[in-house]
Amino acid sequence: MIEDTLNHGLLEPEFEDTGTAIVVIFRKRMTEEFLKEKGLNDRQIESVEYLKENERIKRKTYSDIFDVGATTAYKELDEMIEKGILERRGEGRATHYVLRTKTERF
């Protein structure tokens, strides 16, 4: 089931154990509603839209697009990693961020 959803370009399903049942949540895309539920601010939501078109973003690009300092850009990108929206790839100057396609498992 997980492999099929990923092969169709969807997010990995989320599994929730309610104690009496296992609930499976399928998400088509990272919608604005979903991102707001995760607590993202407007810049972060707009950066997800940017990533849907461009596949990757660097911290400097985030700073330039949203006219924020490096510290704010890093903090907001890091927050999106913590919330399971982005993945950090590369090291040093090659560091960039991509949309995460898999969710954390329990």
Which domains, ranges and CATH numbers included, belong to the chain?
29-99 (1.10.10.10)
Residue 2, helix vs strand vs coil: helix
Residues 6+ apart with CB under 8 A from 17: 23, 106
pLDDT of residue 84: 84
Q: Mind listing the pLDDT tens digit for each residue in 20-61?
A: 999 887 766 677 888 898 899 999 999 999 998 898 999 999
Q: Say how far apart CA 42 and CA 15 lie, in whole Å.
A: 28
Q: Say how far apart CA 51 and CA 95 lie, in whole Å.
A: 15
- % the chain with pLDDT above 90: 53
* Confidence bin at 9 (pLDDT 50/70/90): low
Does residue 96 have a pLDDT over 90?
yes
Structure tokens at 94: 């090659």
Q: Does the predicted model carry a pTM greater than 0.75?
A: no
